[in-house]
């Protein structure tokens, strides 16, 4: 793993200087140590190599997962309605309906430009240990998909998309809780669930014993995590994407 730093911003009056930290992995390099150090796969735009960024990553210990009362309420809403299987990259890359569902889902629920076709194609073609968990009704009709990075010790719940008829029904939360169950059943140690920034990520704190990367170590303190999320919008910097052209 090779570390890159890029100057982000500064406040000279307080001697505060910010740098973003990225890591590039070598071919066939194990990813567990990369995730362990707070890195997640970079996907903002296509890059020349498998690039990772350090952020406030969130994870839970899947081997100890036990749903909370709120989790059980969500589980009761959808359990028994769907089955799932796994698709390898060759299978989902060849399925235009999966691609179309992802594109439509992000366009309708997250806005134009959040997931353009070029970004999705780059995601699907990353040189990472990827799979898609496909959820289906009893008649075999697909309902939703979860794109995951998977190694022996962990699952990274990366991106999900589902039929828009289930928007605002807690299905997204159910998929994440079910990922924790799947990780435990498969004997994984951790489930990573992306970043924890702002109120939009607050729902992830419904997962029990969630921990966050603070730049140095993993912290299990839900109150502190929620406090960070509450004030994140006050610390947003608008910077040129040209900073990342070298990637």
Please give the pLDDT value at position 243. 47
Spatial contact of 171 and 31, defined as CB atoms under 8 Å apart: no
pLDDT for residue 204: 97
* pLDDT value for 193: 98
Superfamily of domain 57-234: Gcn5-related N-acetyltransferase (GNAT) (3.40.630.30)
Per-residue model confidence (pLDDT) at position 240: 53
What confidence score (pLDDT) does residue 238 get?
67
Q: For residue range 222-231, list pLDDT tens digits in order.
A: 999 999 999 9
The phi-psi region of residue 186 (left if phi > 0; otherwise alpha if psi is between -120 and 50; otherwise beta) is alpha
- Listed in sequence order, the DSSP H helices in 58-95 are 69-78, 89-93
Does pLDDT of 205 surpass 70? yes
User: Global pTM?
Assistant: 0.93
* 55-91 tens-digit pLDDT: 999 999 999 999 999 999 999 999 999 999 999 999 9
Short-list 182, 233, 225, 230, CA closest to 206: 225
| Alpha-carbon torsion angle 208, 206, 39, 106, nearest 10 | 150
CB 87 within 8 A of CB 139: no
**Share of residues in the chain with pLDDT > 90 (%):** 82
pLDDT of residue 45: 83
Residues 6+ apart with CB under 8 A from 235: none
- Number of separate helices (H) and strands (E) present in the chain: 7, 12
Question: Pick from 135, 106, 129: which is nearest to 118 by CA?
Answer: 106
pLDDT, tens digit, for every residue of 146-200? 999 999 999 999 999 999 999 999 999 999 999 999 999 999 999 999 999 999 9
- Measured from the Cβ of residue 13, the count of other Cβ atoms closer than 10 Å reads 6
pLDDT band at 245 (very low <50, low <70, confident <90, very high): low
Given this model, what pLDDT does residue 6 score?
84
What integer is the mean pLDDT of 122-141?
Answer: 96
pLDDT-based confidence at residue 46 (cuts at 50, 70, 90) = confident
């Amino acid at each position: 793993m090779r570390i890159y730093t890029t100057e982000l911003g500064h406040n000279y009056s307080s001697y505060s200087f910010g740098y973003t930290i990225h890591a590039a992995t070598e071919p066939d390099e194990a990813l567990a140590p990369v995730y362990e150090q707070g890195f997640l796969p970079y996907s903002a735009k296509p890059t020349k190599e498998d690039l990772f960024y350090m952020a406030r990553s969130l994870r839970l210990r899947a081997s100890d997962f036990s749903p909370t009362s709120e989790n059980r309420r969500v589980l009761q809403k959808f359990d028994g309605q769907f089955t799932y299987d796994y698709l390898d990259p060759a299978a989902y890359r060849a399925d235009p309906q999966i691609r179309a569902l992802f594109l439509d889902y992000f366009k309708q629920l997250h806005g134009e430009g959040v997931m353009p076709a070029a970004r999705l194609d780059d995601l699907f073609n990353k040189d990472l240990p990827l799979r898609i968990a496909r959820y289906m009704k009893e008649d075999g009709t697909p309902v939703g998909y979860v794109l995951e990075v998977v190694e022996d010790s962990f699952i990274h719940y990366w991106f999900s998309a589902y039929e828009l008829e289930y928007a605002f029904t807690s299905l997204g939360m159910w998929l994440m809780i079910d990922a924790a169950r799947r990780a435990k059943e498969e004997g994984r140690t951790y489930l990573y669930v992306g970043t924890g920034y702002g109120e939009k990520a607050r729902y992830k704190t419904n997962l029990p014993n969630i921990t966050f990367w603070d730049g140095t170590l993993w912290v299990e303190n839900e109150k502190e995590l929620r406090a960070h999320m509450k004030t994140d919008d006050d610390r947003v910097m608008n910077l040129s994407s040209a900073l990342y052209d070298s990637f």
